[in-house]
Structure 1
Amino acid sequence: MINEPAVVELTIERPAHGGHTVARHEGRVVFVRHALQGERVRVRLTEQEQDASFWRGDTVEVLEASPHRVTHPWPQADALTAAAQGAAPVGGAEFGHIALEEQRRVKAQIFAEQLTRIARTERDVTVEAAPGETPDGLGWRTRAAFAVTGNGRLAMHVHRSDALVPVTDMPLAVDAVNALRLWDLDFSGMQRVDVAVGSGGGDPLVLLIPAEGTAPRRAGAIAAQIAGASVAVLDAAAGDVHRLKGRTWLQEQVGPHAYRVTGAGFWQIHRRGPEVLTGAVLEGLQVAEGEHAADLYAGAGLFTVPLASAVGAKGSVLSVEGSAGTSRDARRNLHGQDQVSIVQGRVDKVLASHDRPLDVVLLDPPRAGAGKKVVGQIIDAAPRRIGYVSCDPASFARDLGLFQARGWTLDTLRVFDLYPHTHHMESFALLSPPRGAA
């Protein structure tokens, strides 16, 4: 039985992974959002089943504030502003009430706690700001996804809810996203609207995802209203992108390398993220000419391209990606690079049939991590170094524990704040083989 939502007073004990903080109510753990360690707050319970091992809640009033609490830069994502209006905030900026430097300290604390608890590894962690980050931590998102309300307005979801809140700006996004003024338009008939801005020039791309049963001409009518952007339609079932006007892809530039990324393809969303991560990867792996490398979960080839340059014509790179569309992007981005083998498929299946020795392996798995099977296959390939790019400290810690059980050690660890005002972070780890390993 679920009780009516209740409001309780709690003292926040510590931060927790996932954008939460930990408090206790009559001995039961409550995961609280929009609070800070040491604060005394009033919390509206959003999940409170009597037989549950923990509850969840949102801060609605601060009774004793942390010195690190600041005014949220995005009112629609501010829990206190929403509560005063009898509403809930949009998700996506759950750390906006925390001073930027404190956000990074909290993230470092959470990352270190995950390493200790899951991987049994003690490590001092520092979270680095991206080069050129703005003092307010805004204007970094080059990609944004919006839901659509019943009356056709752009909206975002409330955390862990189907409820929608109409939005009229996106402070985390780069100026080019906000300049389109998409929230002024009627997107009736659409299920979702994505917008992306490339770093290599050209117009932004607006991707329309129609609701089931929407007539094709409706998307065309919407496209005609959008000025200053390319517009395409995504067939979600087939994964195909169809042009309405302009082009269906974006040009990205990372150092000397140019990339083409289709509208539905994955790309790092922070404007400096690709540069930061490729720099960390190349510095850590120290790939030599003539070596054999693997780039697993390779996407459109963000890391494959510089790895191919590093190994040269005498080396090789195995690039593996599960998405057919993103794999097509990788083939375009590496056209003419004969030392690169681009394989579309599951990483475990590709590695099972790969019989060439590997000197270096880089993996950038999805949020769930690589898992026991893939970790074992990578170790069995006996590389001299493994680089691991991760967007989730918990899944990274689980995989790290698997590597350490086979004698591998965590060498370099760098954690980057590529998602200011959210709980997310990105990391690069360099793993070294057991001493004496060939």
Structure 2
Amino acid sequence: MTDGVSDPNGVSGAAERPGAWLGRTLEVTLDRPAHGGFCVARHEGRVVFVRQGLPGERVRVRVEADDKPGWCRAEVIEVLDPSPHRRPSVCAASAESGSGCCDLAHTDRDGALAYKTAVLREQLERIGGPGVAQVGEVPVETLPAAPEAGAPDLGWRTRVRLTADADGRFGYHRYRSEDVVADLRCPQPVAGVIDGIADLRSRPGSELLVMRDADGERHVVEIGPPAPAARSGSRRERATGRRTRGGARRTSTVLEGDPTVVERVGTHVWQLEPTGFWQAHIAAPRVYSDVVTEWADPDAGDIVWDLYSGAGLFAAPLADRVGPAGGVDAVEIAPAAVAAGRRSLADVPALRFHRGETVRTLATLRPDPRAVILDPPRAGAGRAVVTAVCAAEPDRIVHIGCDPASFARDLALYGERGYRPRRMRAFDAFPLTHHVEAIALLTRGD
């Protein structure tokens, strides 16, 4: 058959019986990077999404998944003509044991930044459309490294979540699998975070949350099996709850450190549960907070909404700016995050926390916001939230996205309501992986 079919990344190929190529070895030349950690190739009229490759390389690949008529997924098994950006993988857990932790560990820094910049540009153009793409090139920026890391893409992660395998050893999940790889040789964690963890044993399926806080203290928490997840609320709201709640529905035992994790940004100090959400990159909280505060640009006496607020990382400095004559309303669905924010920021008079689903809570907030901040989970905010935010007619919207596809889609939804991106920055907040974080400032008008 030769019918054209479209795939989620916007390329197409000839239809083919699903499964026909599974296990087949192909020789292909890789084209542009695609969202999800792949490069695009074409072979015999079909599209092949190739993992562990780089643009321009000629490689031999093995087809690992072939369940769509027009395209399949493959993995590099031999590099015949390498990219100048290729380097030996810096992650043994990924390269040797098949962990899914580091899918860009085989490219140097310049190659990784160019890869992510190209993916973000393609998603903004294809999904966001002309009104979003007019912002132009958005180069992905490097975040500052931990002082002891030695390189900006190493030793950046302050929080690691591990799972126990069938023998009770902790490790990472295998790529696209629930199987656990009991190999901790990943260079993402900050120095000392996983020291000695390989010697621990637990019940199969239990989890271990290991972190280093702002005081340099390590916290190790063992998390029991999950209870069935409640189905109330939208898919996005449930995702937000999982992100910020962590182990709220699971038993947990502190094995090392304090039951309270201390984090600091500027003059504010947070006391969080170990299972509570905080940005994983050591530099991300400060950098994001600075950008959001600058772009929101509130004056004394203004009202600001901070949606998907977590414990108030952005709400705190914004409340400082608006002062007691103004107000910041922070909306968060996770009860532990709301409790941590109220406890940690009790001395900030302009700040109010509201616990609830975002779209259902907006009507209870102080009206006429000067600025609205949104930091939704990976699935994005979606039409209902975007519509409600635009109906409030803020002067400025600052939208943060950790997935370029949902980020671009949300920006297009704002465009339907007359808001256009004026500034945009993107950060390599997840080095050695394909993930990227982007922030956009939107205002009304052409």
Normalized against structure 2, the TM-score is what?
A: 0.86
| 2:156 corresponding residue in structure 1 | 140
Q: Deviations over 1:374-413 (max 9, x none)?
A: 1011111111111111111111110110111222111110
1:355: Cα distance to partner? 5.6
| Structure 1: distance between partners of 2:201 and 2:365 | 51
Alignment partner of 1:165 is 2:181:
yes
Task: Read off the aligned partner of 1:128 and give its amino acid letter.
Answer: E
**Candidates 139, 149, 156, aligned match of 1:126:** 139
Q: Deviations over 1:148-207 (max 9, x none)?
A: 11111112112111222211333111013133x1012222355211111111x1521112
1:242: Cα distance to partner? 5.2
Alignment partner of 1:110 is 2:119:
yes
Q: Compared with structure 1, are the counterparts of its residues 247 and 135 closer, same or farther at alpha carbon in structure 2 (3 Å cutoff)?
A: closer
Alignment partner of 1:434 is 2:434:
no
| 2:370 corresponding residue in structure 1 | 359
Task: Read off the aligned partner of 1:187 and give its amino acid letter.
Answer: S
Normalized against structure 1, the TM-score is what?
A: 0.87
CA contact (8 A) 1:130 1:417 kept: yes
**Candidates 416, 435, 443, aligned match of 1:405:** 416
Written as runs of structure 1 = structure 2, the 5 A alignment for 1:271-286 is: 271-286=282-297
CA RMSD in angstroms, aligned pairs only? 2.1
Q: Compared with structure 1, are the counterparts of its residues 237 and 144 closer, same or farther at alpha carbon in structure 2 (3 Å cutoff)?
A: closer
Unaligned 5+ segments in structure 2 are 1-17, 228-244
1:136: Cα distance to partner? 5.5
| Structure 2: distance between partners of 1:330 and 1:138 | 30
| 1:151 corresponding residue in structure 2 | 167
CA contact (8 A) 2:29 2:56 kept: yes
Task: Read off the aligned partner of 1:58 and give its amino acid letter.
Answer: E
Alignment partner of 1:320 is 2:331:
yes
| Structure 2: distance between partners of 1:118 and 1:189 | 41
| 1:74 corresponding residue in structure 2 | 91
Task: Read off the aligned partner of 2:58 and give its amino acid letter.
Answer: R
| 1:222 corresponding residue in structure 2 | none
CA contact (8 A) 2:225 2:250 kept: no
Alignment partner of 1:53 is 2:66:
no
| Structure 2: distance between partners of 1:354 and 1:317 | 9
Task: Read off the aligned partner of 1:330 and give its amino acid letter.
Answer: G
CA contact (8 A) 1:189 1:211 kept: no
**Candidates 81, 86, 107, aligned match of 1:64:** 81
| Structure 1: distance between partners of 2:246 and 2:83 | 47
Q: Deviations over 1:323-378 (max 9, x none)?
A: 11111111112213332221111000001343622111000000111111110111
**Candidates 54, 77, 85, aligned match of 1:36:** 54
CA contact (8 A) 1:112 1:124 kept: yes
Q: Deviations over 1:19-77 (max 9, x none)?
A: 1111122111111110011111111211123x533211111111111111011111221
Once structures 1 and 2 are overlaid, which stretch shifts more, 104-113 or 247-256?
Answer: 247-256
Q: Compared with structure 1, are the counterparts of its residues 118 and 90 closer, same or farther at alpha carbon in structure 2 (3 Å cutoff)?
A: same
Task: Read off the aligned partner of 1:63 and give its amino acid letter.
Answer: L
Instruction: Give the secondary-structure state (helix, strand or coil) at the position aligned to 1:284.
Output: helix
Once structures 1 and 2 are overlaid, which stretch shifts more, 181-190 or 63-72?
Answer: 181-190
Task: Read off the aligned partner of 1:196 and give its amino acid letter.
Answer: M
Q: Compared with structure 1, are the counterparts of its residues 248 and 432 closer, same or farther at alpha carbon in structure 2 (3 Å cutoff)?
A: same
Alignment partner of 1:194 is 2:209:
yes
| 2:109 corresponding residue in structure 1 | 100
How many residue pairs match? The answer is 404
| Structure 1: distance between partners of 2:248 and 2:317 | 33
CA contact (8 A) 1:108 1:127 kept: yes
CA contact (8 A) 1:48 1:56 kept: yes
| Structure 2: distance between partners of 1:115 and 1:379 | 20
Q: Compared with structure 1, are the counterparts of its residues 355 and 255 closer, same or farther at alpha carbon in structure 2 (3 Å cutoff)?
A: closer
| 2:40 corresponding residue in structure 1 | 22
CA contact (8 A) 2:378 2:402 kept: yes
| Structure 2: distance between partners of 1:56 and 1:190 | 28
| Structure 2: distance between partners of 1:286 and 1:141 | 30
| Structure 1: distance between partners of 2:226 and 2:278 | 27
| Structure 1: distance between partners of 2:255 and 2:83 | 50
CA contact (8 A) 2:223 2:251 kept: no
| Structure 2: distance between partners of 1:253 and 1:136 | 21
| Structure 2: distance between partners of 1:374 and 1:433 | 17
1:7: Cα distance to partner? 2.0
Instruction: Give the secondary-structure state (helix, strand or coil) at the position aligned to 1:175.
Output: coil
Instruction: Give the secondary-structure state (helix, strand or coil) at the position aligned to 2:193.
Output: helix
| Structure 2: distance between partners of 1:406 and 1:202 | 45
